């Protein structure tokens, strides 16, 4: 496949859970996952998809020629200072390096930043995930501070031997690169 093929980015439905879970089973993908417990992830994801119209979390599925090749999760977070999106994503290893995730994220960011009060997008990845870091650089993300409490929480609950990096894309930066 090449990156000139039609990419469809659409909201996920419950029927997409199995192809989404299958993507997470590839060893190349698993090494970059925070949550490895598949049963927990499936249960959580099903509840999110069923409630996405009213919730603060949205799943998007990436399709090429009718096959699910990836997905993006967007969690809208509102704290005392600002409203922003926390993004995560997975892509089938056969489609890495072909521009699909960049195109999908650009599509989703265009919609996300249309909301006036969305100030930015945050993505975290392991320091060993150089492909993710290159993608985020292409999209004008900049490194951001990971608070100690967050690092400690990740260390306790997820993958203690991995170092987390955080990246930020402001609405202003997005408007310059669209």
The pTM for the full model equals 0.86
The pLDDT confidence band at residue 119, using thresholds 50, 70 and 90, is very high
Q: Which domains does the chain have, with CATH numbers?
A: 7-177 (3.40.630.30)
Burial class (CB in 10 A: 0-12, 13-18, 19+), 125: buried
Q: Which residue has the higher pLDDT, 34 or 133?
A: 133
CB 144 within 8 A of CB 167: yes
Which pLDDT does position 1 carry in this prediction?
39
Tell whether the model's pLDDT for residue 132 goes beyond 90.
yes
Burial class (CB in 10 A: 0-12, 13-18, 19+), 122: middle
Tell whether the model's pLDDT for residue 56 goes beyond 60.
yes
Q: What percent of the chain is helix, strand and coil (3-state, nearest 5)? A: 40, 30, 30
* Six token digits for residue 89: 């994503």
Distance (Å, whole) CA 104 – CA 41: 22
Mean pLDDT of 9-23: 92
Tell whether the model's pLDDT for residue 94 goes beyond 50.
yes
Average pLDDT of the chain is 86
Helices 100-112 and 130-138 sit at what angle, rounded to 10 degrees? 50
Tell whether the model's pLDDT for residue 159 goes beyond 60.
no
Torsion of CA 95, 135, 74, 45, to 10 degrees: 40
Q: Which residue has the higher pLDDT, 152 or 76?
A: 76
């Amino acid at each position: 496949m090449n990156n000139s093929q039609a990419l469809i980015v659409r909201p996920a439905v419950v029927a997409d859970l199995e192809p989404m879970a299958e993507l997470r089973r590839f060893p190349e993908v698993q090494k970059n996952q925070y949550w490895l417990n598949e049963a927990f992830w499936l249960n959580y994801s099903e509840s999110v998809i069923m409630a996405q119209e009213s919730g603060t979390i949205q799943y998007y599925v990436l399709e090429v020629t009718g096959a699910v090749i990836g997905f993006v999760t967007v969690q809208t977070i509102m704290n005392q200072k600002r409203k922003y999106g926390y993004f995560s994503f997975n892509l089938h290893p056969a489609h890495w390096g072909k521009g699909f995730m960049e195109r999908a994220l650009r599509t989703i960011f265009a919609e996300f930043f249309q909301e006036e009060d969305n100030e930015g997008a945050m993505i975290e990845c392991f320091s060993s995930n150089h492909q993710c870091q290159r993608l985020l650089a292409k999209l004008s993300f900049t490194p951001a501070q990971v608070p100690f409490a967050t690092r400690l929480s990740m260390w306790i609950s997820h993958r203690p031997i991995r170092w987390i990096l955080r990246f930020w894309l402001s609405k202003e930066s997005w408007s310059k690169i669209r």
